Amino acid sequence: MSSLVILGGGTAGTMIANKLRKRLDAHDWAITVVDQNDAHHYQPGYLFVPFGTYTRDDVIRPRHPLLPDDVHFVQAKIDSVDAEANRVLLEGGQALDYDYLVIASGTTPRPDQTPGMLGPEWRKSIFDFYTLDGAEALAEALKSFDQGRLVVHITEMPIKCPVAPLEFTFLVESWLRKKGVRDRVELVFVTPLDGAFTQPVAADHLGAMLQERKIDIEADFMVERVDDTRRVLVSYDEREVPFDLLVTVPLNMGADFVARSGLGDELNYVPVDKHTLQSTAHANVFAVGDASDIPASKAGSVAHFAVEIFVDNFLQHIDGKPMTGSFDGHANCFVESGDDKALLIDFNYDTQPLPGKYPLPHIGPLSLLKETRANHLGKLAFRQIYWNVLLPGHPVPLPSHMSMAGKNAPKEED
């Protein structure tokens, strides 16, 4: 019997287990999923927790019921992978041998990597919302915050869901207005990028939205440390950004076991072919979702579209055939903009977010790079789609590859 071991039971790992269990004969293939806990988190929901829209119960479900009965679930911490011996070593001494390995261990905020971030002001005047505990602590802090300087800060790219810091900024601006204290709060968006986003059309559009809402932007800011005594962000070029309340996105890094196994880059992401997701070092190892080093957004939609390509490729690979599928870096993300509206962006490795309609050209019903209530409702509805359609591996009527249909490309200058 052949064995497939999947490290990580998040979005990518769960989808892969469900999809491959339907395609691989259970008499011929054993599938094992390893994760350190039995709590599956709907991470996009963290964004809404500080504002009371979602609670803990809305974003957590037990992990094992999301997997097929004939997929073996092992709850344990991973010590390392011995890729030469085709073996996963778990903490406590247990070992799992594999014929094929999928690393889907995601990425994690690491506030410990920035001097001063985890000091005495952590969860007092310095908060994160990329963890559920952080989002809940921030919710409590916002209840009493009605004046001062609120700074939203990105430490470094890449991060999970790169639009989430902008979404939080727009949502907190709207929330402060509704509380009647917006004129008493100075809002600042601090980013290592040279603008609001990475791509020109979207960056211009989102930057204009910040300006319209009177939110200052501090660009090209590479934080060197947090001076929590003075409540100041300090950059490597010695610029300073003071704050009364700091909402930070810490450095994101892949799993530590990836580093211990010698399988990762400097941020513990696994180097892979960006089209097949196959490890560049080991032919029987793949990394899918946030765990890989592909130059795409670390977002759930990327995991979804990548898994669709991966599954067919994997079946070809184990049959000794060339992998014919090619992932194009497709991502689409709703961008909450406050006041019950949102934008939608759709892009890939080669094409930046553009205005237009999605998924049907000229019809939509969703609008690209335009604030609409339909987009906001789409974002809220996605939580049920995630639990009931995406994770179980049911077909989703969206193409895995990005299409230019319905998009309005900018005119080239003469």
- Each residue's pLDDT tens digit, 237-263: 999 999 999 999 999 999 999 999 999
CA angle 151, 152, 153 (to 5 degrees): 110
pLDDT for res 412:
57
Tell me the pLDDT band of 409, cut-offs 50, 70 and 90.
Answer: confident
Tell me the pLDDT band of 303, cut-offs 50, 70 and 90.
Answer: very high
* Residue pointed to by tokens 């070092």: 281
Tell me the pLDDT band of 160, cut-offs 50, 70 and 90.
Answer: very high
Rounded distance, CA 275 to CA 278, Å?
Answer: 8
Fold type of domain 2-109+253-318: FAD/NAD(P)-binding domain (3.50.50)
- Each residue's pLDDT tens digit, 375-385: 999 999 999 99
- Each residue's pLDDT tens digit, 33-57: 999 999 999 999 999 999 999 999 9
Tell me the pLDDT band of 199, cut-offs 50, 70 and 90.
Answer: confident
Structure-block tokens of residue 236: 């490597």
Tell me the pLDDT band of 368, cut-offs 50, 70 and 90.
Answer: very high
Average pLDDT over residues 358-373: 93
- Each residue's pLDDT tens digit, 65-111: 999 999 999 999 999 999 999 999 999 889 999 999 999 999 999 99
Look at residue 328 and tell me whether its pLDDT is greater than 50: yes
Structure-block tokens of residue 378: 């789409």
Rounded distance, CA 139 to CA 50, Å?
Answer: 4
Contact 85, 98 (CB under 8 A): no
Look at residue 413 and tell me whether its pLDDT is greater than 50: no
pTM passes above 0.85: yes
DSSP labels, 190-207: E-SSSSSSSSHHHHHHHH
pLDDT for res 397:
87
Look at residue 414 and tell me whether its pLDDT is greater than 80: no
- CATH 3.50.50.60 boundaries in the chain: 2-109+253-318, 111-252
CATH 3.30.300.30 fits 111-252, yes or no: no
Contact 244, 125 (CB under 8 A): yes
